[in-house]
Amino acid sequence: MRTNYCGLIDAKYLNQTVTLYGWVHRRRDHGGVIFIDMRDREGLVQVVCDPDNVTAFQSAEKIRNEFVLEIMGTVRHRPAGTANPNLVSGEIEVLVQSIEILNASLTPPFLMDDENLSEAVRLEHRYLDLRRPQMQANLRLRYKVAMAVRVFLDQHGFIDIETPMLTKSTPEGARDYLVPSRVNIGHFFALPQSPQLFKQLLMIAGFDRYYQITKCFRDEDLRADRQPEFTQIDIETSFLNEAQIMALMEEMICGLFRSVMNIDLPTPFPRLTYAEAMSRYGSDKPDLRVPLVLTELTDVMKEVEFKVFREAAQKPGGRVAALRVPAGGELSRKEIDDYTSFVAIYGAKGLAYIKVNALEKGLEGLQSPILKFLPEAVVNVILARTGAKDGDLIFFGADKAHVVNEALGALRARAGHDRGLAESGWKPLWVIDFPMFEHDDEENRWKALHHPFTSPADGHEDLLETDPGRALSKAYDMVLNGSEIGGGSVRIHRQDVQSKVFRALNIGAEEAHEKFGFLLEALQYGAPPHGGIAFGLDRVVTMMTGEESIRDVIAFPKTQRAQCLLTHAPSAVGEKQLRELHIKLRHVEALKG
C-alpha cells in the first residue's frame, strides 16, 4: 500500500519506511550515487540509490525519465545545505531499499518542466502535457472551484438535476451541433447550447432551486476564451427577483474566491446600466481596473467641417466620442499606427487624434492633422470635456455607435494596460438594464440581445409591441476584470408575454408552436416567477490561474479550428455508418459551386 503521495512526504515521516509510486521526473548520477526526483500529482520527492544496495542500484541504472516506479525506502534528513524550501518534501530524502520498474517509457517529446512548448506539440501529447506541474495545478484548482460551488449551492437548497444532451434544435442563438437520428429517419437532435428551457421547465415542475455543472455546445468561430464544448455552472431559482438573485450569486462568487484563492473581492459589486457602460466604456463588460473613459462629442460635431465627424454625428445611430490617454503624447508615430491597425479589427476606418503639448498656447499648443477642420470653440469643448492636460493624447472614434463603442472600448482596455494605467487586483461589477432587443440591419428585424425568454423590465411590457427598441429587460451580467463570467435574467413566466416577445422577434404563431410549443403550453400550467444565471467555469478558472487561454484549464480541449489533435477528431466515418443514418455526403466540389 502507498504510504502517501511523493509530494507529501515530509519530516513527520523521518526514520519511517515508506512505499511510494510515481514517475521519474529526473535521474542524476553523482559519482556513483544515483538521485531520482520522483513525481506524482502532489509534487516531487528526492530518492537516493546507494551502490551498496546492489539490486536496487542496478535497477536505478536502467531508469530514465517518465518510467513508472514503486519505491520502498527509509525517510531521512537531506544533508546540510541541500534542503529545498520550495518543496513540502524539501527537508528529507528517501534512501531506497527496493525499486520496482512498473513500466518503462519512451523518451518523451518534451521535459515535464519545459515552459517553452508549442501548443500543437502539447495538444498532440496531451496525456504528457497534463503531467506538467502547471497543468496539474490548473486542473486541481478547477476541481476546487467546482467543489466550492457545489457546497455553496447545496447549503442554499439547490438540487443538482441533469438535463438532456440530445435535445431539439432551436436555432435562435449560435449555430447548433446536429446529431442525426438513425431511428427517426431524416430527423436530428441538437447538442444543447445551454439547458435554458429545461431549467425553466424544472421551475414549472416545482423543484424551486436547480443547478448543474454541465457541458454546452456551440458551433461558432473560436477565440482564446471559447471552445465548441464548454462547461457552464447553470443555476435557476423560483420566487426571487433580480436583486435577490444577484445578491445570492455575488455571495457565491465572493465565497468562491475566498475559499479557493484566499482573496476578498470588494463588495458590494458596483452596478452599471448597459447604457452607462456603453457610454463611458464602450463595452458591456468593462475592465474597471483601467480608469480611462470615453467622452461624448456627438452633439458638438454636427456642423463641423471635418466630414468624418459631421456625417457620423448627423446619421441616426451615429456617434462621435473621444478617449483621453494621460501622457499619451509620448506615443511614437509607429505606436499610433499600431493602434490604428488594432481598431480596424473592430470596423473603425481610422483613428484621428490630437496631441496636447501646451494648453496655455491654445491651438498652437496642439498637434493634429484634423485641427484645421475644427472650430476653436469645438476644440475648447473637447479639451474641457476630456479634462485634457499637457502631454496627453486624445483619440477619436466616429461612425455607427456600435463601431465606435467596440473600437474605442477595445482601445481603452489595450492602451490602459500598455501604458501601465491599469490597477492591480480584482474589479467586479454587475451590468444591468440591458435592452430586450438589438436590431439586425441585414435581416431588418429585431433579435434578442440575450435570449427570447428574458422578461421585460417592469413597465416595459407594452413596448414589446409598440416600440421594441426602447424595451429594457430584467437581465444582468457579472463582469470581472473585463470578462463576462456570468449572465442571467428573470425569465418570462406568462404565456401571453412570451408570445409578445416572439411576435417582436418576427416569430409567428406557427413557427413559435413548432419551435417552442412545449414551453408555451407549460407556461399555462401555473409557472412560478423564476430566474437564474449561468457562469462560465472555464473562464472563471482561466482568470484565477492567470492563463491566457481556456485551453489551459480544460483537460482535453479543441484547437481554434475545433479539432482535437490528440484523437484527430473530427474525422471521416465509414459508408456503412452513413447508410445506417440515411446520410449521403455532397462532394466538396459541389459545395464550392
Q: Which residues are annotated as a binding site for L-aspartate?
A: 172, 218, 450, 491
Which DSSP state fits 371? Answer: G
Which DSSP state fits 553? Answer: G
- Report which of 100, 21, 23, 127 is spatially closest to residue 66, judged by C-alpha positions: 23
CB 354 within 8 A of CB 365: no
Binding site feature residues = 172, 218-220, 227, 450, 484, 491, 536-539
Residues 6+ apart with CB under 8 A from 130: 136, 139, 555
The cell 524550501 sits on which residue?
Answer: 85
Residue 152: count of CB within 10 angstroms of its CB: 19
- Report which of 536, 520, 440 is spatially closest to residue 170, judged by C-alpha positions: 520
CA distance 117 to 129: 10
Which DSSP state fits 435? Answer: B
Strand partners, 216: 230
CA distance 300 to 316: 15
Binding site feature residues for ATP = 218-220, 227, 484, 536-539
CA distance 78 to 82: 6
Which DSSP state fits 456? Answer: B
Beta 352-356 vs 366-367: how paired, if at all?
antiparallel
Secondary structure of residue 4 in the 3-state scheme: coil
Beta 92-103 vs 17-30: how paired, if at all?
unpaired
Q: Read off the C-alpha cell for 266.
A: 470588494
Quick one: CA torsion of 13, 16, 22, 27, rounded to 10 degrees?
100
Longest Cα–Cα distance in the chain: 94
